[in-house]
Amino acid sequence: MKAKLFAALGAGALILAASQSAMAGVAIGLNIGVPAPVYVAPAPVYAPPPPPPVVAYQPGYQPVYQPVAVVAPAIVIGWHGDRYWDGRHWWGRRDWYAHHRYY
């Protein structure tokens, strides 16, 4: 009984192995295509270096120094992280909600 079972299993394994090799085929492909366009970089253009700057000394000339304008940053009314700016002072989140319960 066991011999018939082993023979059937062996025959099945041989059939599977034979079917896999029978599916291997030979393929011949022929590709006809147009070659891709080739990009050629333009030739470099060489220009002469710019002339050095000319600094002319003028006797009696005093440079005028302009004061730098200092601009304060604009502070926007509203929440900034965990603090609220109402235009007058900073509020903590708990203080704001405790003081402004009607909102």
Q: Which of these, 87, 88, 86, lies nearest to 96 by C-alpha position?
A: 86
d(CA 95, CA 86): 12
pLDDT score for 83: 81
pLDDT score for 74: 73
83, 92 Cβ separation under 8 angstroms? yes
Averaged confidence pLDDT in the chain: 77
pLDDT score for 101: 74
Note the pTM of the prediction, 2 decimals: 0.23
85, 75 Cβ separation under 8 angstroms? yes
* Model pLDDT for residues 52-89, shown as the tens digit of each residue: 877 776 777 777 777 888 777 777 778 777 787 777 77
pLDDT score for 51: 86
